[in-house]
Structure 1
């Protein structure tokens, strides 16, 4: 069985890989529905190929649970709304709204799932939110007067709620393996978007096809698989705080690829987010070690 540290690493890797979607989507220059459809479809195909070569063929054909099918729709909604939002406003503004989801998820998990928030958990969330606020650009006083910005905010809020639902549903115990859960969610998500994609003309250049393959493999297959595996073993508050590494990845990639420089305040925000994530991981490890049964003498 994988250690708690291993699941924390998976959550961190998932956050970094999730952060690549905005960059890849801008390069692909395709409608949000098409990008999301191919992300889910290719992600499911990559997962099936991995399961075939890794001896998990028997897990592919199984009866899916209603919960995982619902979460497939949540996943499709989150991804579509995210990509749609960055067509109207900046990636920094979109990610700022979406990453209220971990806080919302932790609060709902506290109220509904019995995952009690301790004082140190609340402090870690507060530090992450402070860092997140410092990272975000200053909003113009008349930002929402721009209709595109208003549409971007609207789709960002939709992405916020569907992402929170995705995390909460994956927190509930399941008899399915992480591979089965991921496969159903990716496949159902792709099916949800199929009717929309079928009504559109799809003409892909070789370069766009390459970006779609990268989208299917990195933020599709790997990021979602790592997220599902981590969510099955980490409390929602832990996963949510570690997920704040994604905005750090988004800002870093934007700086590296588009020469968008970081201000000292934004660098401080990145440092606070990483610190909060590390603290939350250590808290999770401490809880795990205290609850682990002693070996038989």
Structure 2
């Protein structure tokens, strides 16, 4: 597909189309996680390792790129993968303590972390009109996910884990924006997936989690998590990082709660409230406004 031709300059409609595909793919994450009984570290580890197996044919063709990396590049690559692993660990763990809705609304703070980081690291300003679109999307996402916020008990632990996951993935994306200037999609994605997967494997070993005794149903969920939200979500976003900045991608991902709510209605039979419908409209409108007004 033309999307993987890294020398091809995509048009604005093409970027928007592939952002939509990526957001749709990652929207399945919450559904698959809710179906699974495996702990966060196991889910995250296998979704990454299986995704890496899918990528081997493309990685093999570009393996010489690793030889062009400096020690500094390897350090940044390690940090990017580490923060991706922390994102998966924090966000997936949050589902064990709080509701999907609560987790999604706090994950939606990602663009704010990304915008702050882009200002500090890249000295990049966001225009007022584009910022308005971002805040509109954040408000809509809060309405979508927050219509059923869970309070009390241990919910605050899940909320903090989700917030931490939003911060971690924003750092991962900002580092990736710089690294993607010299690395192809396949090599960058394979590398950070490997670091993140090994980090989660270490967490699983430390917590003495079972790794190989899961039933066939769980292995099917691992496979779906690897193929849909990881390959067609995270890998696609990594491809877009060469032509789309991290803040824009993080803003587009605000559509994930919308997709998750709609998929939950379709696949899990969960009701959709009028407030959530309003939030969907605000989120989609805010994302469209941001993409149109941002440079």
* TM-score clears 0.5: yes
Asked whether the 8 Å contact 2:49–2:194 carries over to 1, the reply is: yes
Q: Does 1:184 align with 2:194?
A: no
SS in 1 for 2:120: helix
Gaps of 5+ in 1: 288-297
Q: Does 1:175 align with 2:185?
A: no
Q: Does 1:23 align with 2:44?
A: no
Asked whether the 8 Å contact 2:101–2:148 carries over to 1, the reply is: no
> CA deviation digits over 1:42-67, x for unaligned, max 9?
11111114445xxx354575456221
Q: Does 1:36 align with 2:44?
A: yes
Q: Does 1:86 align with 2:95?
A: yes
TM-score calculated relative to the size of structure 2? 0.87
1: CA distance, partners of 2:17 / 2:30: 22
Q: Does 1:280 align with 2:278?
A: no
Q: Which is greater in Rg?
A: 1
Please name the residue that 2:77 is paired with.
68
* CA RMSD in angstroms, aligned pairs only: 2.0
Asked whether the 8 Å contact 1:170–1:232 carries over to 2, the reply is: no
2: CA distance, partners of 1:204 / 1:268: 40
Please name the residue that 1:8 is paired with.
16
Gaps of 5+ in 2: 1-7
Please name the residue that 1:292 is paired with.
none
| Displacement of 1:121 | 0.8
Structure 1 residues 86 and 109, CA gap change in structure 2 (3 angstroms):
same
**Comparing 222-231 with 2-11, which one deviates more in the overlay?**
2-11
> CA deviation digits over 1:203-233, x for unaligned, max 9?
1211111111111111222211111122232
Q: Does 1:123 align with 2:132?
A: yes
Asked whether the 8 Å contact 2:59–2:190 carries over to 1, the reply is: no
SS in 2 for 1:204: coil
Please name the residue that 2:114 is paired with.
105
Please name the residue that 1:156 is paired with.
162
TM-score calculated relative to the size of structure 1? 0.86
Pick aligned residue for 1:254 from 248, 264, 275: 264
